[in-house]
Amino acid sequence: MGTDFSQPQRQSIVGIWVMFFYALQQYGRALWPIILIWAFKFDEINKVYLVVGMLLVFASIGVVSYLKYLNFTFFLDAENEEFIITEGVFNKTKTAIQLRKIQQVNINQSFIQKLIGVYELDVDTAGSNKKEGAIKAISHELALELKSRLLENDKLQRVVGTAETTLEETEQKLFEAAHPFIKISFLSLLKVGITSNYGKSIALLVIFFSTIYENFQNFGDESNIYKEKVGSYIDKNLVLQTILTSILLLFGVVLVVNVTRIVFKFYDYKITRQKGSMLLSFGLLNTKSTIIKPEKVQITTVTRNYFQKKMGILELKIKQATGGEKEERKSIIEIPGCSETERDSILRLLFHQIPERGQMLQPNYRKLIFSVVLSIGLPLLGFLGIGYWLEPIIFEYSYVVPFYVVVIGLIQYFKFKNNRLFIHKNFIIKQSGAWDVSNDIIEPSKIQAITTSQLFWHKKLNIGSIILHTAGGNIEFQLANYSIVKQQVNLWLYEIETSDSNWM
At 310 the pLDDT is 92
At 362 the pLDDT is 94
- State how far the Cα of 486 lies from the Cα of 464, in Å rounded to an integer: 10
- In the three-class reduction of DSSP (H, G, I as helix; E, B as strand; rest coil), residue 30 is classed as helix
- Given a cut of 70, the residues of the chain with pLDDT beneath it are 1-2, 31-45, 47, 126-131, 152-179, 198-240, 243, 322-331, 500-504
CB atoms within 10 A of CB 368: 17
- State how far the Cα of 262 lies from the Cα of 210, in Å rounded to an integer: 28
- Residue 430 Cα distances to 160, 293, 298, 424, 439, angstroms: 40, 23, 14, 11, 5
CA nearest neighbour of 342 among 108, 153, 185: 185
Phi, psi values for residue 117, rounded to 5°: 95, 30
At 407 the pLDDT is 92
Question: Can you name the residues that pair with 430 across neighbouring β-strands?
Answer: 421, 440
- State how far the Cα of 303 lies from the Cα of 431, in Å rounded to an integer: 10
- In the three-class reduction of DSSP (H, G, I as helix; E, B as strand; rest coil), residue 293 is classed as coil
Question: What residue type is 460 in one-letter code?
Answer: K
Burial class (CB in 10 A: 0-12, 13-18, 19+), 37: exposed
At 380 the pLDDT is 92
- E strand or H helix at 365: helix 365-372
- State how far the Cα of 312 lies from the Cα of 418, in Å rounded to an integer: 20
At 206 the pLDDT is 62
Question: Can you name the residues that pair with 97 across neighbouring β-strands?
Answer: 83
Are residues 337 and 184 in contact, defined by beta-carbon separation less than 8 angstroms?
yes
- E strand or H helix at 79: none
Question: What residue type is 275 in one-letter code?
Answer: K
- State how far the Cα of 221 lies from the Cα of 294, in Å rounded to an integer: 63
At 464 the pLDDT is 94
- Residue 177 Cα distances to 107, 181, 272, angstroms: 13, 10, 6
At 344 the pLDDT is 93
pLDDT digits (tens, 9 = 90+) for 246-283: 777 777 777 888 888 888 889 989 998 877 778 888 98
pLDDT digits (tens, 9 = 90+) for 438-457: 999 999 988 989 999 999 99
- State how far the Cα of 358 lies from the Cα of 119, in Å rounded to an integer: 45
- State how far the Cα of 493 lies from the Cα of 486, in Å rounded to an integer: 11
